[in-house]
A and B are shown apart, each in its own frame.
Chain A
Amino acid sequence: MDVTSLQTSGRAGPSGGRRPAPPRSGHRGRRSPAASFGLHAALVVASLIAVFPVFWVLVTSFKPDSRAIEASPSLINESSLDNYARILAGEKGDFLAWFGNSLLIAGLTTVLAVMLAASTGYAVSRFNFPGGRGLLFFFLVVQMFPFAVLIVPLYNLLLSLGLQGSAGGLVLVYCTTAVPFCTYMLKGYFDGIPREIDEAGRMDGLSPFGVFWRLMLPLARPGLAVTGFYAFITAWGEVAFASAFLSAADQSKTLAVGLQVFVQQNRTEWGHLAAASILVAIPAAVVFYLVQRFLVSGLAAGSVKG
């Protein structure tokens, strides 16, 4: 599959770049040196544009606030690790607590959303039950409401459930967005697994749940990784719900909410904000690294038999 995707991207390259592919001469799929140069130049420029803001945040994170915005920007200007040290020491708010909260909430969201979505997706894919199709449609409709509209009703719901201000409540709220999407994605994935595998499992002595647990989940691993990644990112970077539904106490904030302390009415602590942002990005990058090999195959896997 890797080979296929490489070839595909190689072939898609010329049309994706600025200039059309030159007329084919000689070997199939070879580019002329000029086309090759053009293509690579375009890709390098695009990559630089994408990477530069992140790079500049990194550069800024080492500078003191007073040097963050300069008339003539420089890479290094009184740079040090002071920003990181202060943040980690908790001088600017209980950063480690925020970090723990975010990790807990995003982690729970991921686990809960993927478990619910996998079992729902499998049920919708395999079993005929009343309302099965309606359920998927309902999921789609739910996705169409803007978050801002949902905040007040969700707040009331959490309040009456006694979950307002708790991490568990926020996990539930995140699941309302993550589960429908993940269910859709996983249903498609399960549809791609031949039914005979289920039947072979039944014949070998598995219960219906056994088929799901011992055959379907291992086979859907790429799909689970992709949906898990989606659920994690959804919860990790979210601000609006988190600031509305968590208690205002400093140690119960998530990272995304906590970062706001660096942005004050009259002044923004760019150095600290940048350093904290870099720290926030690390877990997301780690999760991405763990699932990235599935992302390529996961997105194409529905079309190819396991």
Chain B
Amino acid sequence: MAGVSYVKASRVYPGNPPVRAVDQLDLEVNDGEFLVLVGPSGSGKSTALRMLAGLEDVDEGAIHIGGNDVTHTPPKGRDIAMVFQSYALYPHMTVGENMGFALKLRRVPKETIKAKVAEAAKMLDLTPYLDRKPKALSGGQRQRVAMGRAIVREPAVFLMDEPLSNLDAKLRVETRANIAALQARLGTTTIYVTHDQVEAQTMGHRVAVLKDGLLQQCDTPRNLYERPANSFVAGFIGSPAMNLKTVALTSEGAVLDGLTVPLPRSVVAGHDAKTITFGVRPESLRLTGGDEVGMKLTVDLVEELGADAYVYGSVDIGGTAERFIVRTDGRTPPSIGSTVNVTLRDDNEVHLFHPESGARLETTKAPTA
């Protein structure tokens, strides 16, 4: 087992102009940690993982595994195992042969391979299928074989490239929990790539958010949610997404329709622009009675999820209709087309970002958890 570190690692695809798929990535993964790389497509998350695997060249910087520089080591010398999105099982081998293949290449005695494969198969409920070919398995079973192939090797690091995206929704949630539990049990350093922020938030000890090859923020899921480093992370993490609006700034605070949110002096004083990017999560908003001050929200759509309901509507801010999402009680949602009054639950539950750079403007008091 070992930690992993990216030291200003870059992958540059030649072209005009050259594409920096991963740009100066600095990332430290501790021994035994479950780190999730998340980002939209084209963010470089898979490339970063493949650089660690040795399947992609490192053009600048270095990568270390367990303290050893592996920047130019071929994959076989890195002591890592990878689970692919398509599983990439060997079609001409049985499940057992697939799982034991890496050990066979290392000339591990047959009995040892058999024992290890049997143990992993038991862990993954694959024992009855060991003699089958991958063709004769269901999607979920194939996924487990891919996991088993990685486990049997007892590598220093597991790499997983969107291993759940070929499963149906229910199985995905189930397998998500199984993988997290398995990782906790084995204690192997794991780097997991996904585009699904729910997966990232539920599985990772820490989550690294990438965009356009640049690391945006790497932190625990809770910190990522509560203190996003910039407006991109704020909008990417959380479902439904945070309401992010660029609004006028006066000495009173941020001006929303009929609602002026007082902002901490420290932020307003240090900020010279006339506008500010103002973020508030759907659960930090509430519907109010008519007598309270608030924004007038015209309801376009209500998503009823049972316990909760999400109200999608538009608010007129400075002449343009801005869309807002509000979480409300699932039993008494407003009807579509009606106009409701919306206000903040707590003036501290707001996130402020620079309107141009998108960087977080720190409030003096941290938002309460």
Interface residues of A (CB under 8 A from B): 194, 196-197, 199-207, 210, 215, 218-219, 306
Shortest distance between the CB of B245 and any CB in chain A (Å): 42
Q: Considering the complex, give the chain B residue whose CB is closest to the CB of A215.
A: B90
Q: Considering the complex, give the chain B residue whose CB is closest to the CB of A202.
A: B75
The 3 closest A-B pairs by CB, nearest first: A196-B88, A204-B102, A200-B88
Stretch binding the partner chain, chosen from B79-87, B170-178, B198-206: B79-87
Shortest distance between the CB of B135 and any CB in chain A (Å): 9
B80 touches A219 (CB 8 A): no
Query: In whole angstroms, how far apart are the Cα atoms of A112 and B88 in the complex?
Result: 30
Query: In whole angstroms, how far apart are the Cα atoms of A196 and B92 in the complex?
Result: 15
Between-chain CB contacts (< 8 Å), 10 pairs = A194-B86, A196-B84, A200-B88, A200-B89, A201-B90, A202-B55, A203-B81, A205-B75, A207-B74, A219-B92
A206 touches B88 (CB 8 A): no
Contacts of B85 in A (CB 8 A): 196
Given A218-B92, A306-B91, A206-B86 contact (CB < 8 Å)? no
Contacts of A306 in B (CB 8 A): 91-92
Shortest distance between the CB of B134 and any CB in chain A (Å): 10
A200 touches B53 (CB 8 A): no
A205 touches B86 (CB 8 A): no
B105 within 8 A of A: yes
Shortest distance between the CB of B339 and any CB in chain A (Å): 53
The listed residue with most B CB atoms (<10 A of its CB), out of A201, A203, A215, is A203
B106 within 8 A of A: yes
Q: Considering the complex, give the chain B residue whose CB is closest to the CB of A206.
A: B105
B86 touches A196 (CB 8 A): yes
Q: Considering the complex, give the chain B residue whose CB is closest to the CB of A193.
A: B91
Query: In whole angstroms, how far apart are the Cα atoms of A17 and B24 in the complex?
Result: 66
Contacts of A219 in B (CB 8 A): 90-92
**0/1 interface trace, chain B 43-55, chain A, CB 8 Å (1 if under):** 0000000000111
B101 within 8 A of A: yes
Interface residues of B (CB under 8 A from A): 53-55, 74-76, 80-82, 84-92, 101-102, 105-106, 149, 153
Beyond known contacts A196-B86, A197-B88, A199-B82: 17 more, CB 8 A cutoff? A196-B84, A196-B87, A196-B88, A199-B55, A200-B82, A201-B90, A202-B55, A203-B80, A203-B81, A204-B76, A204-B153, A205-B76, A205-B102, A205-B105, A205-B106, A219-B92, A306-B91
B101 touches A204 (CB 8 A): yes
The listed residue with most A CB atoms (<10 A of its CB), out of B82, B90, B106, B149, is B90
Query: In whole angstroms, how far apart are the Cα atoms of A215 and B193 in the complex?
Result: 26
Q: Considering the complex, give the chain A residue whose CB is closest to the CB of B159.
A: A203
B53 touches A203 (CB 8 A): yes
Q: Considering the complex, give the chain B residue whose CB is closest to the CB of A195.
A: B88
Shortest distance between the CB of A300 and any CB in chain B (Å): 16
Contacts of B74 in A (CB 8 A): 202, 207
The listed residue with most B CB atoms (<10 A of its CB), out of A205, A206, A215, is A205
Shortest distance between the CB of B142 and any CB in chain A (Å): 12
Shortest distance between the CB of B70 and any CB in chain A (Å): 13
Q: Considering the complex, give the chain B residue whose CB is closest to the CB of A219.
A: B92
Q: Considering the complex, give the chain A residue whose CB is closest to the CB of B75.
A: A202
B76 touches A202 (CB 8 A): yes
A200 touches B84 (CB 8 A): yes
A207 touches B84 (CB 8 A): no
B105 touches A204 (CB 8 A): yes
Contacts of B87 in A (CB 8 A): 196
Query: In whole angstroms, how far apart are the Cα atoms of A197 and B86 in the complex?
Result: 9
B54 touches A202 (CB 8 A): yes
A194 touches B106 (CB 8 A): no
A203 touches B90 (CB 8 A): no
A206 touches B76 (CB 8 A): yes
Contacts of B102 in A (CB 8 A): 203-205
B88 touches A207 (CB 8 A): no
Contacts of A203 in B (CB 8 A): 53, 55, 75-76, 80-82, 102
Shortest distance between the CB of B123 and any CB in chain A (Å): 19
Query: In whole angstroms, how far apart are the Cα atoms of A205 and B84 in the complex?
Result: 16
Shortest distance between the CB of A105 and any CB in chain B (Å): 32
Contacts of A200 in B (CB 8 A): 82, 84, 88-90, 149
Query: In whole angstroms, how far apart are the Cα atoms of A245 and B89 in the complex?
Result: 48
Query: In whole angstroms, how far apart are the Cα atoms of A202 and B102 in the complex?
Result: 10
Q: Considering the complex, give the chain B residue whose CB is closest to the CB of A210.
A: B105
Shortest distance between the CB of A288 and any CB in chain B (Å): 24
- State which of A199, A210, A215, A218 has its C-beta within 8 Å of the C-beta of B84: A199
Q: Considering the complex, give the chain B residue whose CB is closest to the CB of A196.
A: B88
Q: Considering the complex, give the chain B residue whose CB is closest to the CB of A305.
A: B91
Contacts of A215 in B (CB 8 A): 90
Contacts of A204 in B (CB 8 A): 76, 101-102, 105, 149, 153
Shortest distance between the CB of A72 and any CB in chain B (Å): 58
Contacts of B82 in A (CB 8 A): 199-200, 203
Shortest distance between the CB of B195 and any CB in chain A (Å): 18
Shortest distance between the CB of A305 and any CB in chain B (Å): 8
Query: In whole angstroms, how far apart are the Cα atoms of A197 and B82 in the complex?
Result: 12
Contacts of B101 in A (CB 8 A): 204
Contacts of A205 in B (CB 8 A): 75-76, 102, 105-106
Query: In whole angstroms, how far apart are the Cα atoms of A202 and B74 in the complex?
Result: 8
Shortest distance between the CB of B310 and any CB in chain A (Å): 38
Shortest distance between the CB of A127 and any CB in chain B (Å): 14
Query: In whole angstroms, how far apart are the Cα atoms of A290 and B242 in the complex?
Result: 65
Query: In whole angstroms, how far apart are the Cα atoms of A210 and B89 in the complex?
Result: 16
Contacts of A197 in B (CB 8 A): 88, 90-91
Contacts of A202 in B (CB 8 A): 54-55, 74-76
Contacts of B80 in A (CB 8 A): 203
Query: In whole angstroms, how far apart are the Cα atoms of A200 and B76 in the complex?
Result: 11
Shortest distance between the CB of A43 and any CB in chain B (Å): 33
Query: In whole angstroms, how far apart are the Cα atoms of A125 and B122 in the complex?
Result: 38
Shortest distance between the CB of A195 and any CB in chain B (Å): 9
Contacts of B90 in A (CB 8 A): 197, 200-201, 215, 219
Query: In whole angstroms, how far apart are the Cα atoms of A207 and B54 in the complex?
Result: 12
Shortest distance between the CB of B357 and any CB in chain A (Å): 38
